[in-house]
Chains A and B, each alone.
Chain A
Amino acid sequence: MNYPVWVVPYLGGSWVIGIMAIIHIFVSHFAVGGGIFIAFTEQLAYSRQDDRIYDYLKRHSLFFLLVTTVIGAVTGPGIWWVIALVSPPGTAFLIQNFTWFWSLEYLAFAAEITTFFVYYYTWNRISKEQHLQLAWLYFGISVSTLIIINGIITFMLTPGNWLTSHNIFEGFFNPTYWPSVLLRLLIMFGLAGMYALITSSRIRDDEAFRTYMLRYSAKWLLPIFFLGPLAGLWYFSNIPQAAIDTIFTGIHASGVGNFSVLARAVYLAMILSGAVIIFAFVGPYLNPKGFSFKAALIFLFFGLMVTGISEWSREMLRKPYVIYGYMYSNGILRDQIENINRIGFLRASKWALASTPTIPEPATMPSATGQGELIFRYQCMSCHTQTGYRSMKRLLLDRDRDAILALLDILHETDPKKNPYIGIMPPLAGTREEMSALADYLATINHPQKRI
């Protein structure tokens, strides 16, 4: 409300973030997990003095370098661009409060990239001992990028004691910090194994070594197989009860209703995780000869799907907040609602105020639908679109203006007993007149001819 709003038609801004972030997750998790894989595998090659493993690693590290630096370099800054446009209040908050952590993250990131370029460049140029040390150096730096960013990401879902103390270290080492580190490390091991299966399946002319590497790569899924459920339980036991309730309400009602998507996403992630484990066992482990490059690609696709769905579910768990219990997904602070309801949303919004000079005097406003559209853009478009994703056109159906206003009255309530949507949507903020203007605008979405 204090920044310009970016309207992304049909797709919605949240999906632009989602697509960019999920692709980045695929690469960034590989950057860390793959780094661990390279360090351990080079250690293995060094211990056994096996040139075949060295040759494999050299090819694998080129693949690793290309994937992590090219795709990572595009999507990493891409995320910053997109979140700054879609959610400027949330982005500003994170930058202002975690300034030093971001700085450390950038340093670690620069060191990570540099180290890996040096690592790849020095193949066969320095001694095996020195090269191995570089591998372990990369391992340490890449894990440190996880250690730092994890504190900021988990803070957004579980700010914990920060909500009362505003101590940034309490926010950083929040209740899900450690379970999330463990869970992400396990996912990274798994993804590293899956990416390694791609390169291992390309080994030619040495069937025994190919079999060895396929089985070795498949074993990287064992940690998440054994420890994943425990880490998941640890993680879920530390997230807000309201978020857990959202999952469980979907168990019997997932066939109908709009609130079930999170539950279905969680089930899907669990089913596909099982599929990935079975696939790893019957494929590369039991039948390495029959495990082709195409099969490895399909396998990776499933693994990435599980990762993407899990990340998406984690984002959904945070609804209706961008920072749980503090800032709603539309950028309004929870503590601001009462004041906004008293003085009006448009009056309280610096940018809206600046961009619409007629708004300060409600009696003289030329267009109620114009105000309504502005309120819609600021309060609803962080999650909804007019005609596309979570479309208002579909959600409003045949409701007329009065029926829409009645619904908005419910959404305006902050008491969960009066507003059943409170756990998944921010309460609408503004005066009764503003709700009326919003209803005027929403009524035009399915009935454009009524537009004033």
Chain B
Amino acid sequence: MMNLPQPKRLWDWLLERLELGPILYFAQNKEVPVHQYSFWYYMGGIILVLLIGQVLSGMLLMVYYIPEIRSAHASILALNSQIDFGWFVRSLHSWGANLMVLFLFAHLFSTYFMKAYRPPRELTWLSGMLLLGLGFGFGFTGYLLPWDSTSFFATKIGLDITAKVPLIGEPMAYILRGGADISQNTISRFFTIHVMLLPLLLLPVLGLHLWIIQAHGMSEPKQGPTAYPSPEEKYEKFFPTFIFKDFMAWVVVLGALAILVALRPWGVGPEADPFAPAPIGIKPEWYFLSMFQFLKLLPPKIGPLEGELVGILFFGLLGLILALIPFFDTGASESRSKAATGFGIFLLAGLIIFTIWGLFS
């Protein structure tokens, strides 16, 4: 008779085989700082839960979605109107993506203003920036796939802007399009990037990001002892205290997602017609709207350069400063710290103002 592990002893058996002891020890001793900004610690967990939802709903959508130019739009229509709960899964995916980007922004700016990028957390910051970029990549590539009028022209505008990037812009746009124009090749490439390439890139970067966070622990804002409710409650256990609170936050966000899905199911516009004029007032998704609005305001020529090119170079510069901020504001200089805070406020205000302007223009 085989010597199978008994259910009662299964846990111990697994502990021994998988050498989980150190991990359990770590989990039992992991602590989370308690202070007036602790609320922002929930952002990362919320993004992770939304990401899991995106993976699951995305897999279900792949069962019915056809990445083919004559069938893509019809398959989305079928999902919305013929397949039981197809509309539900698609709306979960679309609204989930938007919520995820919203929480990515909240996570980015909360960690920024809590100065969580300072040494030794430079790599946490950089990997987070990379994850944000990947999030935008998911949004941009996924937006085209329904192949409706809005998604077609928004993608066209997005790729035209990409082509303006000096040196690499035009070849990059050409590769993404799979030719000179948006076509079947573009759908195939965007689909492959969306469901294969980006997830493959995401996994190691996300793994690195999470691992560094565990290695360094959660960053504490340097606000002094008054930031804590009481000196003896400076930390709380990650298991179970924080994780249960985290769980409540996930339930709230998933509840909000359900409200959006049920009250505003994600629709689909008329099928894309590459030969038709672009719809009047076409806009990209809200998270690209601030950049879009800013570019719209620029004159055709600024000195010898094209206005859009100047805009793209300006965004590139902002992104570079943001990425390199841990090396500028290391915590050693008060003036640099204030400058970094000022830059963050400038960036956040610009993002909010231009997004709202874009929405109402």
Contact = CB atoms under 8 A, between A and B. Distances in A.
B73 to A, nearest CB: 14
Interface in A244-292: 251-257, 260, 264-265, 267-268, 271-272, 275, 278-279, 282-283, 286-287, 289-291
B90 A255 contact: yes
B244 A267 contact: no
Interface stretch (B78-86, B100-108, B109-117, B155-163): B78-86
Contacts of B79: 255
B358 to A, nearest CB: 24
Given A256-B81, A289-B241, A265 B251 contact: no
B64 to A, nearest CB: 12
B336 interface: no
B359 interface: no
Interface string B226-259: 0000000000100011101101100110110011
Contacts of B267: 255-256
Interface centre among A254, A255, A272 (most CB of B within 10 A): A255
B80 A275 contact: no
Given A264-B265, A290-B241, A255 B248 contact: no
Given A287-B241, A290-B245, A252 B84 contact: yes
Contacts of B245: 287, 290, 295
Contact of A252 (B85, B236, B240, B244): B85
B255 A255 contact: no
B88 interface: yes
Contacts of B244: 282-283, 286-287, 290
A257 B82 CA distance: 12
A252 B81 contact: yes
Contacts of A268: 258-259, 262-263
A189 to B, nearest CB: 21
Interface residues of A, number: 28
Interface string A98-133: 000000000000000000000000000000000000
A19 interface: no
B266 interface: yes
B291 to A, nearest CB: 30
A250 to B, nearest CB: 9
A230 to B, nearest CB: 23
B54 interface: no
Given A252-B83, A253-B81, A255-B81, A267 B88 contact: yes
B147 interface: no
A302 B255 contact: yes
A44 interface: no
A397 interface: no
Contacts of A251: 84-85
Contacts of B82: 252
B91 interface: yes
Contact of B248 (A257, A289, A295): A295
A287 B239 CA distance: 11
Contact of B240 (A256, A286, A305): A286
Interface in A53-87: none
B254 A264 contact: no
Nearest to A306: B255
A336 B38 CA distance: 64
B306 to A, nearest CB: 40
A291 B90 CA distance: 34
Interface string B93-137: 000000000000000000000000000000000000000000000
A298 interface: yes
Given A283-B244, A287-B240, A255 B87 contact: yes
Nearest to A286: B244
A33 B242 CA distance: 32
Interface string B261-276: 0110111000000000
Interface string B49-89: 00000000000000000000000000000011111111110
A252 B266 CA distance: 14
Interface in B262-295: 262-263, 265-267
A302 B248 CA distance: 12
Nearest to A292: B245
A282 B83 CA distance: 34
A257 to B, nearest CB: 8
A254 B265 contact: yes
Contacts of A305: 259
Contacts of A295: 245, 248
Nearest to B79: A255
Nearest to B257: A271
Among A254, A268, A302, max chain B CB count under 10 A is at A254
B87 A272 contact: no
Given A275-B255, A279-B251, A302-B255, A255 B80 contact: yes
A377 B241 CA distance: 58
Contacts of B85: 251-252
A272 B241 contact: no
Contact of A267 (B81, B247, B248, B262): B262
A302 B256 CA distance: 9
B248 A283 contact: yes
Contacts of B91: 255
Nearest to B89: A255
A286 B265 CA distance: 34
14 contacts: A255-B266, A256-B87, A256-B267, A271-B255, A271-B262, A275-B258, A278-B247, A279-B248, A279-B252, A287-B244, A287-B248, A290-B236, A290-B245, A298-B252
Closest 5 CB pairs of A and B: A255-B87, A287-B244, A255-B80, A268-B262, A271-B258
Given A252-B84, A254-B265, A275-B258, 11 more contacts: A252-B81, A252-B82, A252-B85, A255-B80, A255-B86, A264-B262, A264-B263, A268-B258, A275-B251, A282-B247, A283-B248
